[in-house]
Structure 1
Amino acid sequence: MSSEEEDDLAAAWGAALEDGKAEPEAKVSADAARVLNQAEIDSLLGFEGDGEGGNAARTGIERMIHSGLISYERLPMLEIIFDRLVRILSTSLRNFTSDNVEVSIDSIASQRFGDYLNSVPLPAMLAVFKVEEWDNFGLIVVDSPMIYSVVDVLLGGRRGTAAMRIEGRPYTTIERTLVERLIGVLLKDLGDAFAPITEVEFLFERLEVNPRFAAISRLSNACVLTRLRVDMEDRGGRLELLLPYATLEPVRELLLQQFMGEKFGRDSIWETHLAEQLRHTEVSLDVVLDQQIMPLSSVIALQPGDRIMLNTSPGSPVRLHCGPVPIFQGEFGRRENRPAVRISETLRNMADLVA
């Protein structure tokens, strides 16, 4: 083989080796440059199913994030109470402002207390109220448009013009006083809304303008947030009512009802019918003439024909029992040659026995 042929063979061999190395390197660089799509990212994080439908089961990190939240739908009676509050508040605010007022519910949702405080739009007024019967607190937030609308309408602002909003200054004493009167109307109506299930009074405690000073619960606690929209012709604003679940705990059993009847689920007709039937029930009364304590050996030794002497004479006090329950006390005697008992005292209230 000539030197030229040897050089050509070596060049071909070197080119083949270089091609063999370049192909794996190109493949590795292509794999490294590939970007994961959304489905692969969701699979790595534990989100399965498409998120657009909104009905996919929560898994992975999403389940961990939402595991501590409580849905207000577990207390269905709250929605009925807030509907009742809207009706009562609409009438009260019309009398309070002498204007055409419409109140509606924007939303009812569960939220962590800390997340809500961080989302309060400022400037605003935060009213802290106490529930004496439940020994806990609640929060009412009045946003800035609502504050200026109330001040404008109560101080004789011209109808048909929007309330003027002035930024960059603290609220005046007159504005705070008028908002406190508005809060008083709302708290009274809130107590009336809860009246069918329980007697409760909501007492105004203080008014704050800084959310940090209105901490009535732990930041991680769940609360029920109700947003009310108040429209007064071309003016209005929002009232937000925040009730921690700890505040509602004393009436949780009542709020678990699915619907509200005339007496919140109680059937008065059935109760009356049952009471009437109980009054016609036949019962037997036993007259206890005497009670004696005897040794077990004496009881075992009793035989037919033995006599037990009773320490009861005519006129002696005896008790009348219905089963094991003592009902009356009377005097033992005879009437027309037959043993009889004259009742002299009632030992139990008959109404309690029927109930």
Structure 2
Amino acid sequence: MAEDDDTPVDEEAMAAEWAAMAEGGAGNEGIDDEAVAAEWEAMAGADEPEDAAMAGGSAPGRVLDQDEIDSLLGFEGDEDEGEVHGIQALINSALVSYERLPMLDIIFDRMVRMMSTSLRNFTSDNIEVSLDNITSVRFGDYLNSIPLPAMLAVFRAEEWDNYGLMTIDSSLIYSIVDVLLGGRRGTAAMRIEGRPYTTIEQSLVERMIAVVLKDLCGAFEPLSPVNFTFDRLETNPRFATIARPPNAAVLVKLRVDMEDRGGRLEILFPYATLEPIRELLLQRFMGEKFGRDSIWETHLATELWSTHVVMEAVLDEQEISLRDIMNLEVGQTLPLNARPTDGVLLRCGDIPLVRGRMGRSGKYMAIKVDETAAQYTRSE
């Protein structure tokens, strides 16, 4: 509406300007031309502020460069720092940031080697077990992400008085059943969706779970002996709840390959289950002693035995005022409340060491030790 009202006014002003130019002298042509040019520029740029206001900024048509796009999406920054920004921070909000347990890598690497041997003996087939990764997740998010159908085995750590969870996906289930029942090599395992697992399939999978749990016990044995016992087998994740949904847990993903068959096996430990051995899992290598070094202890003890200390033999102690000390004169006598047969205390600084009797050994004054520091302190 404002543009429609201003248009007639601008046209009248422009007509008056042209009339003035026609009537004016030759000396004013340059000034009139500049005025007309300025008038036309003002009219042409009258709509730009409105367009800029509609665009929501003072620089209409501005295009973001690649760095600004990466910053918005959260792809900038050093990957080593592990910091996530922008949209990536929203996507990864379900991940758990928890302390790293270095010893778990050693334990499950040992377990992978043991499983490769035990599963070969169990199936009489060539089986390769590999460790994908070890991550921290929330228990509820993990249950919601399990691809169904699958079998979930709940096992109990007796010494730690808590539970763990093992997930076997459908590909590994059908592969194990096919191998144990004499399926031909080179043929993919038959998979029928939408039907529950039969009793035979569950029994065969339970036998494989027993083998895996035995290897898991052997992997933890050098660090902390524990016995994992099979508790129950579930096919519905809702019935395999062993912790509260927001609780943090350690997820270990394993890959089992049998030539052209195989599948995934996942082991989940809530952090509450690993809490009894958390200090041991924080070690960087097996048998690490925090804050102690036997070599340094031996060296320190050797140097201490050869250290020279100054000892003082105290015959008697008295407390007098500073006034009396300032009034002491040359030749004045200080009486001591000690006799030649009284005990003498040997001190190193303010620490009492031994107590004995004063005597003479050759040309030296000597003290015969009667009580050690512990006995002297106890008697007082």
TM-score range (shorter-chain normalised) is: 0.5 to 0.7
Deviations 1:187-243 (A, max 9, x none): 111000000011100111111111111111121222111111111222211110111
Preserved CA contact (<8 Å) 1:71 1:109 = no
Verify: 1:27 aligned to 2:52, yes or no: yes
Deviations 1:274-324 (A, max 9, x none): 7xx99xx9xxxxxxxxxxxxxxxxxx9986669xxxxxxxxxxxxxx9874
Q: Which one of 256, 263, 276 corresponds to residue 230 of structure 1?
A: 256
Q: Which one of 70, 86, 106 corresponds to residue 97 of structure 2?
A: 70
- Cα separation, partners in 2 of 1:211 and 1:42, compared to 1, 3 Å: same
CA shift for structure 1 position 154:
1.1
Match of 1:131 in 2: 157
> What amino acid sits opposite 1:70 in the alignment?
S
Deviations 1:83-138 (A, max 9, x none): 10011111111111111111111222222212211111110000011111111111
Give the alignment of 1:147-162 within 5 angstroms: 147-162=173-188
> What amino acid sits opposite 2:187 in the alignment?
T
CA shift for structure 1 position 155:
1.4
Give the alignment of 1:284-323 within 5 angstroms: none
Secondary structure of the equivalent of 1:148? helix
Match of 2:288 in 1: 265
Verify: 1:58 aligned to 2:83, yes or no: yes
Q: Structure 2: which 5+ runs fail to align?
A: 1-8, 18-38, 306-335, 343-370, 376-380
Once residues 173 and 124 of structure 1 are traced to their aligned partners in structure 2, the CA distance between those partners, rounded to angstroms, is: 14
Deviations 1:311-350 (A, max 9, x none): xxxxxxxxxx98749xxxxxxxxxxxxxxxxxxxxxxxxx
Secondary structure of the equivalent of 2:47? helix
Once residues 322 and 98 of structure 1 are traced to their aligned partners in structure 2, the CA distance between those partners, rounded to angstroms, is: 73
- Cα separation, partners in 2 of 1:86 and 1:213, compared to 1, 3 Å: same
Once residues 61 and 45 of structure 2 are traced to their aligned partners in structure 1, the CA distance between those partners, rounded to angstroms, is: 23
Preserved CA contact (<8 Å) 1:50 1:56 = no
- Cα separation, partners in 2 of 1:227 and 1:23, compared to 1, 3 Å: closer
Verify: 1:170 aligned to 2:193, yes or no: no
Secondary structure of the equivalent of 1:130? strand
Give the alignment of 1:97-246 within 5 angstroms: 97-246=123-272
Preserved CA contact (<8 Å) 2:95 2:138 = no
Secondary structure of the equivalent of 2:196? coil
CA shift for structure 1 position 27:
3.3
Deviations 1:140-196 (A, max 9, x none): 000001101111111122233221111110001111111111111111110000000
- Cα separation, partners in 2 of 1:50 and 1:76, compared to 1, 3 Å: same
Secondary structure of the equivalent of 2:167? strand
- Cα separation, partners in 2 of 1:255 and 1:57, compared to 1, 3 Å: closer
Secondary structure of the equivalent of 1:236? strand
Preserved CA contact (<8 Å) 1:130 1:137 = yes
> What amino acid sits opposite 1:94 in the alignment?
R
- Cα separation, partners in 2 of 1:24 and 1:129, compared to 1, 3 Å: same
Once residues 238 and 16 of structure 2 are traced to their aligned partners in structure 1, the CA distance between those partners, rounded to angstroms, is: 78
Match of 2:280 in 1: 254
CA shift for structure 1 position 246:
1.4
> What amino acid sits opposite 2:253 in the alignment?
R
Match of 1:291 in 2: none
- Cα separation, partners in 2 of 1:44 and 1:107, compared to 1, 3 Å: closer
CA shift for structure 1 position 60:
6.3
CA shift for structure 1 position 257:
1.2
> What amino acid sits opposite 2:249 in the alignment?
C
Secondary structure of the equivalent of 1:182? helix
> What amino acid sits opposite 2:191 in the alignment?
R
CA shift for structure 1 position 82:
0.4
- Cα separation, partners in 2 of 1:44 and 1:122, compared to 1, 3 Å: closer
Preserved CA contact (<8 Å) 1:104 1:229 = yes
Preserved CA contact (<8 Å) 2:94 2:138 = no
Once residues 144 and 10 of structure 2 are traced to their aligned partners in structure 1, the CA distance between those partners, rounded to angstroms, is: 78
Secondary structure of the equivalent of 2:79? coil
Secondary structure of the equivalent of 2:148? coil
Secondary structure of the equivalent of 1:257? coil
Q: Structure 1: which 5+ runs fail to align?
A: 1-5, 282-299, 307-320, 326-355
> What amino acid sits opposite 2:164 in the alignment?
G
Preserved CA contact (<8 Å) 2:70 2:76 = no
- Cα separation, partners in 2 of 1:42 and 1:140, compared to 1, 3 Å: same
- Cα separation, partners in 2 of 1:18 and 1:34, compared to 1, 3 Å: closer
Secondary structure of the equivalent of 2:212? helix
Tell me how many residue pairs correspond in the alignment: 276
